[in-house]
Amino acid sequence: MREVVVGGAQMGPIQKSDTREAVVERMIALMDRAHEAGCDLVVYPELTLTTFFPRWYMEDQREVDSWFEREMPNEATAPLFKRARDYGMAMSLGYAELTPDGHHFNTQILTDKTGAIVGKYRKVHLPGHDEFDPERSFQHLEKRYFEPGDLGFPVWRALGGIMGMCVCNDRRWPETYRVMGLQGVELVMLGYNTPSVNSQKGDEGPEKRLFHNRLVVQAGAYQNSTWVVAVAKAGVEDGHPLIGGSLIVNPDGEVVAEAKTEDDELIVHPCDLDACNFGKETIFDFARHRRIEHYGPITGQTGIVRPKE
Amino acid sequence: MREVVVGGAQMGPIQKSDTREAVVERMIALMDRAHEAGCDLVVYPELTLTTFFPRWYMEDQREVDSWFEREMPNEATAPLFKRARDYGMAMSLGYAELTPDGHHFNTQILTDKTGAIVGKYRKVHLPGHDEFDPERSFQHLEKRYFEPGDLGFPVWRALGGIMGMCVCNDRRWPETYRVMGLQGVELVMLGYNTPSVNSQKGDEGPEKRLFHNRLVVQAGAYQNSTWVVAVAKAGVEDGHPLIGGSLIVNPDGEVVAEAKTEDDELIVHPCDLDACNFGKETIFDFARHRRIEHYGPITGQTGIVRPKE
């Protein structure tokens, strides 16, 4: 038994006008609840500190940069890091990262129980587009404001196990989980901001979006025999609705905890990392069953190559 | 609209003592129903013609070979091929293939509407083990009786679209669908024989096995924006239960038809291959979104390589 009590700290909406300080107060309130629930680890969503700004088209780079963090922790988040250290609680959170040399990433970090950052992941699969798209019912400009992550899908030994991270759209791509699975990952932390409506398909609403969220997270967990903790920023931000549905999934692909609201809400589950062993040693024993000689196109080509007519 | 009316021809149990001729009669009865339902294509399960013989430990190679087909069509299946030709119906079925030069494969074929074999797939992901295992509640000797498929995951232009096949355990591996997805697959046909209990985990019964079956098929369909038709051989074969749950899944990952019994049963759905276009052009537009520079381990290593302690 290697138990990690995990808290998924779903955040309700954050308006454009909300300050980082106000958001951090809400994050600390959730951390207090996680402490009461005995959590070893609390996981916050993608871009936790601000509204989901890629929905807004901006041409002024100074305005864009105002949504980014130049260091972490910084003045606004210092109280959060202090509280985590006081509680001896590990933490994962997402934010927009602006590096000293001017690169922009959609980043998720992991701290250990002393508040030290021990892992950093930068979102690889950026959805959306990079120029204003008049065809969409709203914009999704992640490809404009971020560069694709340059760190791959690393894992880290922490909390007695092997930890991985990814961000939002990454969870729809089986490659994400598989690269971590091939490093023995036992718990994947991920945050998301997912609009409740498909901007290119009006009849795809929240029910189907929540279904897809569950489907890809459950499949990723099962097919790699790992825990997955998926945490939303939810609710209506400046008129734009985001799905909730934060969930914790066990290595059998089963949902063991799920958020009920679109507000600040904590979901908790004691995750036994040893529960990953059975799947990794039997049906998904990669060494015995995978046949890489037939997987060539997965790394050999990016897009579709159809057979000749 | 490129509509293919698909019939999933689930087969009930086949006992050791049942002849291939008796099985083919049942297959023809299902084909008659598919014809009445206006099907363009009928899909039969893995190892359609016999009991699931890999549950039996055999040392005599002549006994093993008695479960294999040396040619296709052959005397036993000729009436099936003739009926398909008469109906102008395409067909996919699985059988144990013994090649002229002595190789053994777990094979699935596709015929066109004239009864000509236009596609052949050989199961890549063989589950189970190759020697008698006293620890298991029953045997699963696919690694003993078959070689891993040597044809990769090809696709074929047929029925106005791009068709792919896989077999049983292949469906649990995202690599299977992805290699076909990278060739633009629009309809994946697969058959399975899945024991209702995990031979290495007694408390994993039919409910969880059916859940995993749905989960991996739905995820594979959604993540590659393709139709998937998954067809069981079901029911109790010589005392050993197999799950049913044959299903047809649309490119959004939704179940549109599902078998209710563990007997011979036809499920039917008109599959519009153009329904694959939206996903392939937006959220799963591989050319725009995949980042193969970070997928290296998927083809670079077979088993897990854990980070240093």
Q: In terms of residue numbers, what domain contains A264? A: 3-300
Q: Which residue among B290, B298, B302 sits closest to A178, beta carbon to beta carbon?
A: B298
Does residue B204 or residue A79 have the better pLDDT?
A79
Q: Which positions in chain B touch A305 (Cβ < 8 Å)?
A: 182-184
Please provide residue A39's backbone torsions phi and psi, each rounded to the nearest 5 degrees.
-70, 140
Spatial separation of the C-alpha atoms in residues B46 and B43, rounded to whole Å: 10
Q: Tell me what percent of the residues of chain A surpass a pLDDT of 70.
A: 100
Residues A146-174: what's their mean pLDDT? 98
B208 to chain A, any CB pair closer than 8 A? The answer is yes
B187 to chain A, any CB pair closer than 8 A? The answer is no
What pLDDT shows up at residue B105? 98
Q: What is the DSSP letter of B81?
A: H
Q: Which positions in chain A touch B297 (Cβ < 8 Å)?
A: 178-179, 182-183
Find, in chain A, the residue whose alpha carbon is nearest to that of B294. A152
State the CATH number of the domain containing residue B100.
3.60.110.10
For the stretch A163-213, pLDDT in tens is: 999 999 999 999 999 999 999 999 999 999 999 999 899 888 999 999 999
Q: Which residue among B208, B216, B295 sits closest to A219, beta carbon to beta carbon?
A: B216
A9 CA: distance to closest CA in chain B (Å) = 26
What pLDDT shows up at residue A202? 86
Is A260 noted as a catalytic residue in this protein?
no
Domain annotation covers residue B308: no
Does residue A230 or residue A309 have the better pLDDT?
A230
Contact A253 B223 (CB under 8 A): no
B153 to chain A, any CB pair closer than 8 A? The answer is yes
- Beta strand extents in B216-274 (DSSP E only): 227-232, 235-237, 240-242, 247-249, 255-258, 265-272
Domain annotation covers residue A308: no
**Amino acid letter for position B290:** R
Q: Please, which residues have CB within 8 angstroms of residue B53's CB and are 6 or more apart in sequence? A: B16, B47, B64, B67, B96, B145
Is A3 noted as a catalytic residue in this protein?
no
**Structure tokens, A232:** 């939303």
For chain A, report the end-to-end CA distance as a whole number of angstroms.
Answer: 56
Q: Work out the number of other CB atoms within 10 angstroms of the CB of residue B301.
A: 15
Domain annotation covers residue B306: no
Domain annotation covers residue A117: yes
Residue A309 has pLDDT above 90, yes or no: no
Q: For chain B, what is the domain count?
A: 1
A30 CA: distance to closest CA in chain B (Å) = 32
**Structure tokens, A54:** 């890629």
For the stretch A9-53, pLDDT in tens is: 999 999 999 999 999 999 999 999 999 999 999 999 999 999 999
**Amino acid letter for position B289:** H
Spatial separation of the C-alpha atoms in residues B85 and B80, rounded to whole Å: 9
Contact A179 B294 (CB under 8 A): yes
Q: Please list the residues that pair with B62 across neighbouring strands.
A: none
Q: Which positions in chain A touch B161 (Cβ < 8 Å)?
A: none
Spatial separation of the C-alpha atoms in residues A74 and B137, rounded to whole Å: 58
Find, in chain B, the residue whose alpha carbon is nearest to that of A155. B307
Domain annotation covers residue B307: no
Q: Which residue among B278, B286, B298 sits closest to A295, beta carbon to beta carbon?
A: B298
Domain annotation covers residue B277: yes
What pLDDT shows up at residue B202? 86
Contact in structure between B89 and B41 (CB atoms under 8 Å)? yes
Count, in order, helices (H) and strands (E) of chain B: 9, 14
Using only C-alpha atoms, chain A has a radius of gyration, in whole angstroms, of 19
> In the structure, what pLDDT confidence band is assigned to residue A275 with cuts at 50, 70 and 90?
very high
Strand pairing report for A41-43 and A90-98? parallel
Cis amide bond preceding B100, omega within 30: no
Residue A137 has pLDDT above 90, yes or no: no
Find, in chain A, the residue whose alpha carbon is nearest to that of B163. A307
* Residue that is written with structure tokens 């091939």 in the block: A182
A61 CA: distance to closest CA in chain B (Å) = 24
Question: Which whole-number Å values give the CA distances from B111 to B42, B104, B183, in the listed order?
Answer: 10, 21, 20
Please, how many CA atoms are within 13 Å of residue A1, restricted to the half-sphere of its CB?
Answer: 3
Residue A64 has pLDDT above 90, yes or no: yes
Q: Which positions in chain B touch A304 (Cβ < 8 Å)?
A: 181-184, 280, 286-287
Domain annotation covers residue A44: yes
Please provide residue A92's backbone torsions phi and psi, each rounded to the nearest 5 degrees.
-130, 130
Spatial separation of the C-alpha atoms in residues A54 and A59, rounded to whole Å: 12
Q: Work out the number of other CB atoms within 10 angstroms of the CB of residue A41.
A: 26
Contact A305 B127 (CB under 8 A): no
CA quadruple B159, B162, B165, B171: dihedral sign: negative
Is A123 noted as a catalytic residue in this protein?
yes
- Digit-by-digit pLDDT tens for chain B (309 residues) are 999 999 999 999 999 999 999 999 999 999 999 999 999 999 999 999 999 999 999 999 999 999 999 999 999 999 999 999 999 999 999 999 999 999 999 999 999 999 999 999 999 999 999 999 999 989 999 999 999 999 999 999 999 999 999 999 999 999 999 999 999 999 999 999 999 999 899 888 999 999 999 999 999 999 999 999 999 999 999 999 999 999 999 999 999 999 999 999 999 999 999 999 999 999 999 999 999 999 999 999 999 999 998
Q: In terms of residues, how long is chain A? A: 309
Query: What 3-state class would DSSP assign to A173?
Result: coil
Domain annotation covers residue A306: no
B303 to chain A, any CB pair closer than 8 A? The answer is yes
> In the structure, what pLDDT confidence band is assigned to residue A78 with cuts at 50, 70 and 90?
very high
Residue A246 has pLDDT above 90, yes or no: yes
* Average predicted confidence (pLDDT) for chain A: 97
Q: Which helix (H) or strand (E) holds A144?
A: helix A142-145
Residues A70-96: what's their mean pLDDT? 98
Residue A272 has pLDDT above 90, yes or no: yes
